[in-house]
Amino acid sequence: MSDKSRPSTLSVYLYVPNIIGYVRIILNCFAFAICFKDKYLFSVLYFISFACDALDGWFARKLNQVSTFGAVLDMVTDRISTACLLVILSQVYRPGFVFLSLLALDIASHWLQMYSSFLVGKTSHKDVKDSSSWLFRAYYGNRKFMGYCCVSCEVLYIILFLLATKETENLTDVLVNAAMQSWMYLTLFALILFGWTIKQSVNLIQIKTAADACILYDINKKQRD
């Protein structure tokens, strides 16, 4: 007999947080399709999609619709969205290598973290209570702090895209000129650059701790064998 209380595959696909994830994908597709035609509309759509990242998590907990598929969908959407924006910035600014390096760091750190988490039997890549790094624990242990750092990164990238007026802007010149022209930009940059720095530091820590977890898993497996 089939278990009627067991959710079907279709029902999981139709979880409210997963539907929000599909909407995020549609918003991003449309946003990137018009990014060079209407930079401001792109920025609005991109940020709405980004903001929905917090919304789907809230619904998942509120409706008890947490799923592994939803977690993977959420992370893949986040990583691809940020990656696409970083690729665009790498074509607009010089040196473009800066943004490509940030792209590689972002994807590598999150992929390694998720893989190592599942490898050791954790249900979430955000479960870092056993980490020796206080910054790593503080980042994943406090939703508001993590939200501030994530928002800082995305807002910084959006502002850089909006500030670019030609195809080969010098990154340093744009930041300095904007900060000198307006105290609002100076204050905003100070706030978001701090959060951005924390986020990149966490990405570096994440790579190291995830790599350590993979190596320790192999060592423990050999000892058991």
Contacts of 165 (CB under 8 A, 6+ apart): none
Chain mean pLDDT for the chain: 91
Q: Predicted confidence band at 5 (pLDDT cuts at 50, 70, 90)?
A: low
Q: Where are the alpha helices (DSSP H) in the chain?
A: 9-13, 16-33, 39-62, 68-92, 97-119, 134-141, 143-163, 171-181, 183-224
Sort 64 into a burial class: Cβ within 10 Å, 0-12 / 13-18 / 19+: exposed
Whether pLDDT at 185 is above 90: no
Inter-residue contact 73 to 53 (CB < 8 Å): no
Q: Predicted confidence band at 32 (pLDDT cuts at 50, 70, 90)?
A: very high
The mean pLDDT value for 59-84 works out to 92
Predicted local confidence at residue 84, as pLDDT: 97
Neighbours of 180 (CB within 10 A): 10
| Domain range 9-224, CATH class | mainly alpha
Measured distance CA(131)–CA(122) in Å, rounded: 13
What's the number of CA atoms in the CB half-sphere (13 Å) around residue 49? 29
Residues involved in catalysis = 78
The mean pLDDT value for 12-21 works out to 94
Measured distance CA(66)–CA(60) in Å, rounded: 5
Instruction: At 166, list the tokens.
Output: 């030609």
Domain residue extents for the chain: 9-224
Whether pLDDT at 3 is above 60: no
Q: What pTM does this model have? A: 0.89
Whether pLDDT at 28 is above 70: yes
Whether pLDDT at 1 is above 70: no
Instruction: At 204, list the tokens.
Output: 């570096």
Measured distance CA(46)–CA(42) in Å, rounded: 6
Of residues 38, 37, 41, 31, the one with CA closest to residue 85: 31
What SS3 class is residue 93? strand
Instruction: At 140, list the tokens.
Output: 């994943």
For residue 93, the cross-strand partners are 169
CA 60 vs CA 65, 151, 166, 216: distances in Å: 5, 21, 42, 32
